[in-house]
Structure 1
């Protein structure tokens, strides 16, 4: 009997402990989930999704400390105000974005933000495309992209979109919205920025300095030989007033060709053909020499650009850190020298470094995986690559709280700008070339009966200018499509691309999104464009590999 009594007492104590554990899990479930993953999810009764997110994770996320300037209709700036809202545990406070569009920020996807807390979304424009081209190569070779290499805006902006040309000023913004194909009850809003075109005959004199990596790792067919082809294509598109210089770096830096007129094709091509690979890699000294050459030609009436071609398998030389190398050329950047970084090959390619260099250098970042891509960048889009029509271009989208409950910007995490700095013309931002388009997508949740959905402001300086001009555009609720099928092919295709990128990078908000939905969207929006058709083919390959990866417990 004593033994039975003891067992009963032990059972009672055990049940009490279990009750306390269950209660603790209910209270602290989010923290336990972070530590122990899916098994802890099951204990606290939450739905666990394939990408590791939960139903709780898909609740509204909030900016916890955000400063924003009050904007009026006339474009004046009032004193900034600060709102502080406690973030729901266990999410950490989201810091204020740095005051520049040209820093390598975290790739953490933008949160869904309540307009009652912050109705402004501010970012620098971005026309880089390297992330998408790198994805295309990885898929073509039988793989899937690394999540941290996926930058949504670079995928979306790889493609051409047919937007109306500006009627006045440098830009026109095409605004459109439709029900989201991914999240029931939400809409997608497209912000499409079109820059003015410039004819080849109207371009300013261009002074290029090619900085070519000729280290031993560049000896493969898809590296130095492809770089030589790309340079020749670029030279072929230049005008008589343009010049080209050539610098190489490997174990040492070599001045191969001083600034030479673009009409001297034979001289330029012979210098390009003479390049061979061998030795180590020290980028820092070569970059400084190339910038010194370019700075001699810099001025408001000309274009002076350094073009770096490398496989990214580099040490920086002189024991420089990446930040120190970037800082060493800032003086030249302020004089008006711009930068294009051209990535080649695979292996130890440093995509992160190439993007940071381009951002710091007020330029653009490309990845060349074929002669076809070289032609696309250096022939078909040469004017936009060379001729900058506006610098420090910032976009601020103001959502009307009477119409929009919350919003999320897909991508542009590396281009976030503090809202209060939109009208601070000392703050660096992005550059736009002639004829370039920039597309951004927002996922929004409508609320109330307000008539205005969003006001979009674009602020930019003319090249070499100090003061910025501002343009304003509005999207009314009456301008939203009632059904997605009524939306333009531009919106539907951009949604397919952005949705695919968000799914593959594991964005928590895309946990229930479907690659099948993205494929269906892309199928109906190709419109005879070869680059869109190619994406559709890649997406079909990705769907199969993604499903296999999830089934096998892989990273996707």
Structure 2
């Protein structure tokens, strides 16, 4: 997925900034405006003069990292992301007794691994929820003027018994020698057997395997009357030789194009540990060779990662460039969640090239930082340029973006307007929806706010700790695990219980001087 670099000029005082979507006022300070614009997506805008912004200079972060002064830029734009592989892989590493490498930790994927309970839109597209809470407390004495602001986007769930377009899925399976390890190819075979039972009679699948070269085990085949043939092909896979991801993806897209069905959801599903060691090993070069098929036919790439050693960076880049998303499975429970609960329902898209832009009000906001989305940032001017790639989002997906926001002294009134823009998957017509938040809606304490907001905050704090950063209001040592454990009990949510376990494991490893996979990184600039 091509991205244009988001550039800023340090020290430049900007006379005015564009604030998008300042629509009708809410009925009360705590209400959220959620307004849909027409197919052209031309909602109103106005220029608001930026007030004089004091230069904080080189404010020192809690652990000595410098927070650099930046230009007073009050727009934040990013492509939507529904990946969760970073969190799944981190849990696997922690369970194996290792801290994950900082470079594999993407906070937005931690946050988006948990239910948030946003209301669904009445039709296709998105609902927009904007709220937050004060981040005061924990170890940060200066956190009192900081808040966490949550931007939540949700699509309508698929009707379990309703009609959907048939799916044409090409599975590209890594059968290299590294896949012989328990929890890799055996888990992939189990996953595909599960999926064979879940797909509908009018769906189709093809199967490509790769090691040092690629081979088509099964051309595009309808499920109707052929489930046994599909299972036999899956059972025949055995690990061998090296890992030529390039050969596998190239053959997979060839099969996907050859077996492409009109009026169907055509997708390539890559199942691999992504440890490429033969052929082309760089994601951009691999996908450049099949770029025309991707663009011409709209065939998206879904990556499913496996293995204790896992090429996270390669898989993430492949799926970014392939207009898809990625997840990670470590056991049969997670495999069932992906292949039973998610993939059959989510082969259909609700939105293509979806982007979000958050406009902060300079009258009330002094500083802000988007937590995560480092690889998803989009130039502000490209928000309404529909030639620039965004994210693909399916039914029942939620996307959460958390911001650390520093309010001005005496701030009152409008804080931010969030706008989501997407293209209809069938007609490519653009649509937008907006939501706003005011200071009264973020005045309460974080730990007295809604449980789901607290879960999102705990996930974000945990991710930032793992990659060596800090957020305002971070709980003290041991407190984050206690917060997560209490939230697990209060919500009865097993996934939150898993988060509490992962935090406790990380605390033990850090306390014991346990092994790490690499540098813990540095705190990023405040936007």
CA contact (8 A) 1:410 1:441 kept: yes
Alignment of 1:491-530 (within 5 A): 491-507=453-469, 509=471, 514-526=476-488, 527-530=491-494
TM-score by length of structure 1 reads 0.78
Question: Secondary structure at the residue paired with 2:263?
Answer: coil
Q: Of the candidates 45, 48, 71, which is equivalent to residue 20 of structure 2?
A: 71
Q: Of the candidates 181, 187, 190, which is equivalent to residue 147 of structure 2?
A: 187
Q: In structure 2, what is the equivalent of residue 252 of structure 1?
A: 213
Cα shift readout 1:288-338 (whole Å, capped 9, x = no counterpart): 121122224557732111111112222352x56432112112212212101
Unmatched runs of 5 consecutive residues or more in structure 1: 1-60, 92-108
Q: Of the candidates 182, 188, 198, which is equivalent to residue 227 of structure 1?
A: 188
Q: In structure 2, what is the equivalent of residue 368 of structure 1?
A: 329
CA contact (8 A) 1:299 1:336 kept: no
Change (3 A) 1:279 1:482: closer
Q: Of the candidates 157, 170, 194, which is equivalent to residue 197 of structure 1?
A: 157
CA contact (8 A) 2:56 2:69 kept: no
Change (3 A) 1:242 1:63: farther
Rounded to whole Å, the distance in 1 between the matches of 2:66 and 2:303 is: 26
More helix by share: 1
Q: In structure 2, what is the equivalent of residue 480 of structure 1?
A: 442
Cα shift readout 1:98-148 (whole Å, capped 9, x = no counterpart): xxxxxxxxxxx997887x711111111111111111111111111111111
Larger displacement relative to structure 2 (444-453 or 334-343): 444-453
Unmatched runs of 5 consecutive residues or more in structure 2: 1-7, 23-41, 60-64, 521-527
Q: In structure 2, what is the equivalent of residue 103 of structure 1?
A: none
Question: Secondary structure at the residue paired with 1:163?
Answer: coil
Q: Does 1:417 align with 2:378?
A: yes
Q: In structure 1, what is the equivalent of residue 271 of structure 2?
A: 309
Q: Does 1:377 align with 2:335?
A: no
Question: Secondary structure at the residue paired with 2:116?
Answer: coil
Alpha-carbon shift at residue 192 of structure 1 (Å): 1.4
Change (3 A) 1:288 1:551: closer
Larger displacement relative to structure 2 (435-444 or 180-189): 180-189
Q: In structure 2, what is the equivalent of residue 540 of structure 1?
A: 504
Question: Secondary structure at the residue paired with 1:414?
Answer: coil
Rounded to whole Å, the distance in 1 between the matches of 2:241 and 2:292 is: 30
Change (3 A) 1:419 1:442: same
Rounded to whole Å, the distance in 2 between the matches of 1:113 and 1:407 is: 12
Alignment of 1:9-24 (within 5 A): none
Q: In structure 1, what is the equivalent of residue 33 of structure 2?
A: none
Change (3 A) 1:515 1:422: farther
CA contact (8 A) 1:113 1:407 kept: no
Alpha-carbon shift at residue 522 of structure 1 (Å): 1.7
Rounded to whole Å, the distance in 1 between the matches of 2:227 and 2:477 is: 48
Q: Does 1:270 align with 2:232?
A: yes
Considering Cα pairs closer than 8 Å and 6+ residues apart, tell me whether 1 or 2 has the greater RCO: 2
CA contact (8 A) 1:165 1:194 kept: yes
CA contact (8 A) 2:413 2:440 kept: yes
Cα shift readout 1:392-451 (whole Å, capped 9, x = no counterpart): 110111111122211111111111111111111110011111101111111111124331
Alignment of 1:87-486 (within 5 A): 117-180=72-135, 181-182=137-138, 183=140, 184-185=143-144, 186-200=146-160, 201-263=162-224, 264-298=226-260, 301-317=263-279, 319=280, 321-334=282-295, 335-347=297-309, 349-383=310-344, 385-447=346-408, 448-486=410-448
Cα shift readout 1:342-383 (whole Å, capped 9, x = no counterpart): 111123x21100000011111111111111110111112224
TM-score by length of structure 2 reads 0.82
Rounded to whole Å, the distance in 1 between the matches of 2:12 and 2:232 is: 58
Q: CA RMSD in A?
A: 3.3
Question: Secondary structure at the residue paired with 1:402?
Answer: coil
Rounded to whole Å, the distance in 2 between the matches of 1:306 and 1:389 is: 18
CA contact (8 A) 1:489 1:524 kept: no
Change (3 A) 1:256 1:144: same
Rounded to whole Å, the distance in 1 between the matches of 2:454 and 2:275 is: 38
Alpha-carbon shift at residue 483 of structure 1 (Å): 2.4
Q: In structure 2, what is the equivalent of residue 47 of structure 1?
A: none
Question: Secondary structure at the residue paired with 2:277?
Answer: coil
Q: In structure 1, what is the equivalent of residue 5 of structure 2?
A: none
Alpha-carbon shift at residue 70 of structure 1 (Å): 5.2
Q: In structure 2, what is the equivalent of residue 34 of structure 1?
A: none
Cα shift readout 1:241-298 (whole Å, capped 9, x = no counterpart): 1100001111222110011112321111111001111122222122112112222455
CA contact (8 A) 2:481 2:504 kept: yes
Change (3 A) 1:320 1:152: closer
CA contact (8 A) 1:77 1:423 kept: no
- Number of matched residues? 474
Bigger Rg, structure 1 or 2:
1
